[in-house]
Amino acid sequence: MRKIVLLVVALLAVVLVAAALQSRKDDREVDLQSHKLLSEQQLQILADTQAITLQRGEQEVKLVRQDDQWLVANSDNFPVLQPRLAALLLNLRGAEVQEEKTDNPDYHQRLGLSADSELPVLQVTLDAGDTTLGLLYGNAVGKGQLLRFADANQVLLINRPLTVSVNSHDWLDLQVSNVPLEQIAKARWEHADGETLVLDKAEQGDYNFRLAGEASAEGQERKLNSMVLALANLQAQNVSLRSKLALGQPGLSMQLDTWSGAQLAASLYQLDNQYWLTVDVVKQSDEQPLDVRVDPRRAYQLSVAQHDQLALRAADLQPAEVEVGE
């Protein structure tokens, strides 16, 4: 009986080893079949690309390169959000073909790879001037995605799906300013009716602001800091050319001065139920240059919350009255 058990164990071990070896062989075969999606010639097209078009149905985003800067062409050539562009280029460079599928165009529709597919096909077109390269992305398969080149019927299974927005707004770099609060020495807010708030710090190195000339903000440091920070570190909601807006006179003029002598001046406008900000003056210092988007052609749309944070008045900064019981 013991010999039979040992024989069964030995046979089982042989089967397991054979299965493992076969699995490793299959993996090696898959590895040998896998290859980069883009050939050397196509990678050169990618490197030389001057425009990228992303299209799904009627939605389209066109990115163009001008003087080594990428812009969103259908958003008045506003700068591209670099991390999003970098992710797209990395996906294109790194994609690998895992398997060749059908080359029968009759199957393109059901695979999401034709204009009349149930879900609109995503088309990426690279324009290198005298050469273009089109890629069509179809249905997801497992962790991969089906793809074909625009000029070919062969369907490929690639290892990394492309998830990309075809809304031009999502490609805009809407970071207007990024100035550390510690660098700012003074802030001046002037409302259209003449009310003026001046904020400063007791000494360099302080983080908290106070109303100028007062010993403290009497518990209002958070409001004061948030008011300054709303301009110093501003992420806009949208952007427009000023020429497209009838801005009129600003409701609030703001100015930040740093310890090193740099200066940022901006204005806040209300247009119907929208709020817009313009960057009017940026004076740099060699010691600590300001990280601010300077473009006199642009106006930046703010949310209601951002407006309310910027538009505080003296009455909003008074310490809360404490009721004393009898």
pLDDT digits (tens, 9 = 90+) for 53-63: 999 999 999 99
Task: Give me the pLDDT at residue 30, please.
Answer: 46
- Pair 139, 194: CB distance under 8 Å: no
Tell me: do 156 and 200 sit in the same domain.
no
Task: Give me the pLDDT at residue 33, please.
Answer: 65
Give the residue numbers spanning the domain of 165: 36-171
Task: Give me the pLDDT at residue 221, please.
Answer: 87
- Domain C-terminal end among 152, 171, 190: 171
User: Is residue 1 predicted with pLDDT exceeding 80?
Assistant: no
> Residue 290, Cβ neighbours under 10 Å: how many?
21
Tell me: do 47 and 112 sit in the same domain.
yes
Tell me: do 250 and 310 sit in the same domain.
yes
Spatial distance between the Cα atoms of 217 and 209, rounded to a whole number of angstroms: 8
Strands 78-79 and 274-283: unpaired
Whether 44 is covered by a domain: the verdict is yes
Query: 288, 242, 290: which is closest to 269 by C-alpha?
Result: 242
Which pTM does this prediction carry?
0.83
Whether 305 is covered by a domain: the verdict is yes
- Pair 196, 185: CB distance under 8 Å: no
Tell me: do 283 and 210 sit in the same domain.
yes
Tell me: do 216 and 145 sit in the same domain.
no
- What residues form DSSP beta bridges with 254? 189, 266
Task: Give me the pLDDT at residue 326, please.
Answer: 45
> Residue 77, Cβ neighbours under 10 Å: how many?
14
User: Is residue 322 predicted with pLDDT exceeding 90?
Assistant: no
Task: Give me the pLDDT at residue 27, please.
Answer: 45
Based on the structure, what is the number of domains in the chain? 2
Lookup: tokens for 114: 């034709």
Whether 17 is covered by a domain: the verdict is no
Tell me: do 233 and 162 sit in the same domain.
no
Whether 240 is covered by a domain: the verdict is yes
Task: Give me the pLDDT at residue 52, please.
Answer: 98
Whether 72 is covered by a domain: the verdict is yes
- Domain C-terminal end among 136, 171, 206: 171
User: Is residue 7 predicted with pLDDT exceeding 80?
Assistant: no
- Pair 75, 169: CB distance under 8 Å: yes
Whether 13 is covered by a domain: the verdict is no
Question: Cα–chain-centroid distance for residue 106?
Answer: 38
Spatial distance between the Cα atoms of 194 and 301, rounded to a whole number of angstroms: 24
Tell me: do 258 and 291 sit in the same domain.
yes
Tell me: do 283 and 307 sit in the same domain.
yes
Widest CA span in the chain:
103
User: Is residue 198 predicted with pLDDT exceeding 70?
Assistant: yes
Whether 8 is covered by a domain: the verdict is no
- Domain C-terminal end among 171, 190, 217: 171
Task: Give me the pLDDT at residue 17, please.
Answer: 45
- Asked which of 5-14, 69-78, 141-150, 205-214 is least confident by mean pLDDT, the reply is 5-14
* Rounded mean pLDDT, 32-60: 93
* Rounded mean pLDDT, 132-152: 96
Q: How confident is the model at residue 124 (pLDDT cuts 50, 70, 90)?
A: very high
Task: Give me the pLDDT at residue 26, please.
Answer: 46
Q: How confident is the model at residue 14 (pLDDT cuts 50, 70, 90)?
A: very low
Tell me: do 130 and 205 sit in the same domain.
no
> Residue 164, Cβ neighbours under 10 Å: how many?
17
Residue 82, class by beta-carbon neighbours within 10 Å (0-12 exposed, 13-18 middle, 19+ buried)? exposed
Whether 205 is covered by a domain: the verdict is yes
Tell me: do 198 and 297 sit in the same domain.
yes
Of residues 62 and 24, more confidently modeled: 62
Spatial distance between the Cα atoms of 212 and 198, rounded to a whole number of angstroms: 6
Tell me: do 54 and 133 sit in the same domain.
yes
User: Is residue 12 predicted with pLDDT exceeding 70?
Assistant: no
Task: Give me the pLDDT at residue 4, please.
Answer: 53
Tell me: do 96 and 117 sit in the same domain.
yes
